[in-house]
Structure 1
Amino acid sequence: MAQAMKIAIVDDEQDMRQSISQWLALSGYDTETFGSAEDALKVLGPEYPGIVISDIKMPGMDGMQFLKKLMGSDSALPVIMITGHGDVPMAVEAMRVGAFDFLEKPFNPDRMSELAKKATATRRLVMDNRVLRRELSDGGQLMKKLIGQSPVMERLREDILDLGQADGHVLIDGETGTGKTLVAHALHAAGGRAGKKFVLISCSAFEEDALSKRLFGPMNPEDAQLPAIEEARGGTLVLEDIETLSETLQARLLSAINEQGTPAETRIVAISNLQEAGRTSEDALRSDLFYRLAALRITVPPLRQRGEDILTLFTRLSEQFSDEYGCDAPQVSAQEAAQLLQAPWPGNVRQLINVAERAVLQSRRGSGTIASLLMSDHEEMQPVMTTEGKPLKEYVEAFERMLIDNTMRRHKGSIASVMDELCLPRRTLNEKMAKYGLQRSDYL
């Protein structure tokens, strides 16, 4: 859920700040008022979850001094300045210092509401991006996103931790939709470059000339952005769809890699997303570049190899979507659990996300089945099932684990409630939770 935005109103005239506060409160904003800039600075900081509306002419610290203090603390904090009638030079100076916009007295309240709406939307985006950056710099948080207890996921997490500590270039490959970009973020966060630049370029999103300039320069004189290889210096440059690079750009990339010292100034993490049957990264790249990139290599496992992780992921995703749409998550039957486990998942996790969202929407309408969502696009009305069979015992255990997990979540870890719903004695429930690695503390 998006964080509620506040509006701090700073004005030495009580009537003015109260009238602004009342108008914005009627528009649905959470406001707080301050009679001086000094009082406001005791509350406003880099993480203030909102915007500021301030008069320019105030006793003590005036609005311009106040604005400079705020910009020094957080240059991304939107500040709307209230100026006197005809005071254009003051307004221009405020904008130069970093004000979001200004209102000229006497101002139209609707104009103020419009500016407040734009400013709070801008602030929300900034705050969301900061949360994301903190999450991406936190290897522990990223590892939590790599959900699963299957052997292939345990191995993937170990590989990320090992290669994250290394300093060589890395090639990440795997089928489409497996989460290769997330793995690249985790690699960066798990090593010594965690606090440094992380630059991601999709090679398939540019024409060749534009991609050449974006990667290696020269950039246009009016463009403040550095070439990516320079922008990521000291950190990590991630190149998605590396297989789409032309021979010419492959040669330039190899040259740039060879020119770097050891350890590399810019670590290259290449992501290969080949979808053509029978074609590999080695086929698509010139051999000298391939071997420079693939000295350290991670292959992200397809979803169909992750066993009961499929049910765990489906449960987490359906819970998220049910919260988003304000309805109950769908209850998965034993037959539907088997269908989820048997499906080949050509679109991998990306496809599972889509199925989970549609399952929640179907459940909200009270119609449809998971089987109907797993129908093949190529086979009329026939469920697509993998040819990789599993022993019946594995299906039963996967469903049993999912059922206990879901019930524990629903009852927030209440053992008595779970025992009652599943008709299980306490000893049996404890034994099964131990068997499946379920901890009561995770649900409290």
Structure 2
Amino acid sequence: MSTFLIIDDDPDIRASLRLFLKTRGHELLEAGNGDEALNILKKQRPDGVLLDLFLGKESGMQLLGQIKKTDSTLPVIMLTGHSDVATAVEAMKLGAMDYIAKPFKNEYLLLVLQKAVKVSELFMEVKALRRQVKKKTQPAGVVFGPSPAIEAVIKQAHIVAPTDLSVIIQGPSGSGKEVLARLIHDFSRRASGPFIAVDCGTLPEALVESELFGFEKGAFTGADRKKPGHFEMAFKGTFFLDEVGNLSPNVQAKLLRVLQERKIRHLGGKTDIQVNVRILSASNKNLSELVEQKKFREDLYHRLNQFSIKLPSLSQRKEDIPVLAAQFIREANRSLHKKVQSISRAALAMLEAHSWPGNVREFRNIIFRAVLSAEKSVELEHIQLEPSTVAHSTAPISASPGNSSPLTGQTLKEAVAPLEKEMIQKALKETGGNKVRTARLLGIDRKALYYKIQKHGL
């Protein structure tokens, strides 16, 4: 049952609406003037308000302003005569959700009121979520945990989030740098703006500039239309540059100019475009060492490094593993439509013994595969550690020294390629060819998956 407030000086209209809404299971609060309405609103929040544009000597427009001042999210529907539609439209500019011209059909009124209920529920949900966000010291459902090392990271994130300082997040691959960047964005004053993330390590060199800065039509072969860059798309939000250490010297120079002047220029463009973004960056390399090696601009490094956060590897915070296992089991259940409820002590012990060179990303992949094979509980036999990383584990593994193979002259990339292809094939089979689920299962983004599928001819 929904509750509505009608503000109308005509008692006949109020009585008619009261009878109609009561037959539809709704409750109607009634006010004949502005004072009565405001007194009701002090005591109770209805799901919507029906407000007559003219209340005798009172102005419905003026009362609308008072209601919106009291509760800006409360849906207000204006009641008006056909000759007053233009005034009703002005009321919508002042915050009214909709208007209905008299005489109106009850069924149409009901549709508008149902819309008001949905709007009201949405606003209440947003308020509740905002309250939850303010109360949280770390986000639920992400790659963190209760360890002292992560608590220190979260504390640093909360300190720097409300500022506009540029932040460098350093940590090994798979440790959750982008998740931390999103956390900083979510707790910043730019949270209502976009969060745009770019992996500089996977962007082809020829496309880096056009992706970051955009281009004009005809700027190069194939540029058949104008396209904004990521800096523009992140307007009033946060731009996250992952693996920033991979940028070429030329792009580094252009990025420095953006940070200094807050302007960009499209490829093929002749005019500068103002940008309004906060820059967060990350690297699994030591950027200060790259500066010493003359592989990264020192002036750019200092611009990016106004604040620094270092993420520990998973092997440095193994007390987080039980929490992460439970979280990823829940995620896998939702993604894979499974109902796994727990993980055995033996399986958990094996996970805690592993060195996790791939960090949280590798851990998540293992849990997803285990959930795919398990029924009610993840057991030891469901844990399939990566063949390329099992040797790093301190868990007991039966193996014969005589089984080791000598190096064959292959590069690491050539040796890993067949395994990568096999894993992608298995994942595609397990997900029925669903690319989104396959990417999640493998712990990579869809662009990377499409590239690897094409590379391996799958």
TM-score (norm 1): 0.56
Q: Which amino acid aligns with 1:272?
A: A
Aligned to 1:41: 38
Identity across aligned pairs (percent)?
24
From 86, 89, 108, the counterpart of 2:86: 89
1:272 and 2:282 matched: yes
Aligned to 1:251: 253
Q: What CA deviation, in whole Å up to 9, does each residue of 1:275-305 have, x standing for no partner?
A: xxx8989699655323431353223334454
Which structure 1 segments of 5+ residues have no match?
215-225, 261-265, 392-444
Q: What CA deviation, in whole Å up to 9, does each residue of 1:247-293 have, x standing for no partner?
A: 76643442343459xxxxx994413377xxx8989699655323431
Aligned to 2:299: 288
Q: CA RMSD in A?
A: 5.4
Figure out how many residues of one structure are paired with residues of the other and give that number.
Answer: 345
Q: Verify the 8 A CA contact 1:148 1:312 in the aligned structure 2.
A: yes
Aligned to 2:169: 172
* Shift, 1:9, TM fit: 3.8
* Shift, 1:321, TM fit: 10
CA distance in structure 2 between the aligned counterparts of 1:41 and 1:153, rounded to whole angstroms = 49
Aligned to 1:370: 378
Q: What CA deviation, in whole Å up to 9, does each residue of 1:160-206 have, x standing for no partner?
A: 466569985311244457264445645885xxxx6687755415399
Q: Which amino acid aligns with 2:51?
A: S
Distance 1:288 1:231, change over 3 A: same
Q: Verify the 8 A CA contact 1:239 1:269 in the aligned structure 2.
A: yes
* Shift, 1:53, TM fit: 2.8
Q: Verify the 8 A CA contact 1:176 1:273 in the aligned structure 2.
A: no
* Shift, 1:94, TM fit: 2.2
From 346, 356, 375, the counterpart of 1:335: 346
1:387 and 2:397 matched: no
Secondary structure of the structure 2 residue equivalent to 1:21 = helix
From 283, 288, 308, the counterpart of 2:319: 308
From 133, 139, 142, the counterpart of 2:137: 142
Aligned to 1:239: 240
CA distance in structure 2 between the aligned counterparts of 1:8 and 1:353, rounded to whole angstroms = 53
CA distance in structure 1 between the aligned counterparts of 2:85 and 2:16, rounded to whole angstroms = 21
Secondary structure of the structure 1 residue equivalent to 2:112 = helix
Distance 1:229 1:299, change over 3 A: same
* Shift, 1:368, TM fit: 4.8
Q: Which amino acid aligns with 1:202?
A: I
From 185, 189, 198, the counterpart of 1:204: 198
* Shift, 1:84, TM fit: 2.7
Q: Verify the 8 A CA contact 1:200 1:240 in the aligned structure 2.
A: no
Aligned to 1:16: 16
Distance 1:335 1:61, change over 3 A: farther
Distance 1:337 1:75, change over 3 A: same
CA distance in structure 2 between the aligned counterparts of 1:38 and 1:308, rounded to whole angstroms = 60
Q: Verify the 8 A CA contact 2:5 2:31 in the aligned structure 1.
A: no
Distance 1:144 1:241, change over 3 A: closer
Q: Verify the 8 A CA contact 2:169 2:308 in the aligned structure 1.
A: yes
Q: Verify the 8 A CA contact 1:21 1:33 in the aligned structure 2.
A: no
TM-score (norm 2): 0.55
Q: Verify the 8 A CA contact 2:157 2:183 in the aligned structure 1.
A: no
Q: Which amino acid aligns with 1:389?
A: T
Secondary structure of the structure 2 residue equivalent to 1:70 = helix
* Shift, 1:135, TM fit: 4.9
Distance 1:257 1:62, change over 3 A: same
CA distance in structure 1 between the aligned counterparts of 2:110 and 2:253, rounded to whole angstroms = 54
Q: Which amino acid aligns with 1:77?
A: L
Q: Verify the 8 A CA contact 1:179 1:349 in the aligned structure 2.
A: no
CA distance in structure 2 between the aligned counterparts of 1:87 and 1:248, rounded to whole angstroms = 62
Q: What CA deviation, in whole Å up to 9, does each residue of 1:26-57 have, x standing for no partner?
A: 6xxxx451324333323548x95843333333
Q: Verify the 8 A CA contact 1:38 1:61 in the aligned structure 2.
A: no
Distance 1:377 1:42, change over 3 A: farther
1:348 and 2:360 matched: yes
Q: What CA deviation, in whole Å up to 9, does each residue of 1:86-140 have, x standing for no partner?
A: 542233232232221112233334433333343333344444444444555x4x6
Q: Which amino acid aligns with 1:89?
A: A
Q: What CA deviation, in whole Å up to 9, does each residue of 1:326-377 have, x standing for no partner?
A: x998244323433554574958379759958996x999xxx35425996669
* Shift, 1:141, TM fit: 1.7
Larger Rg: 2
Q: Verify the 8 A CA contact 1:9 1:53 in the aligned structure 2.
A: yes
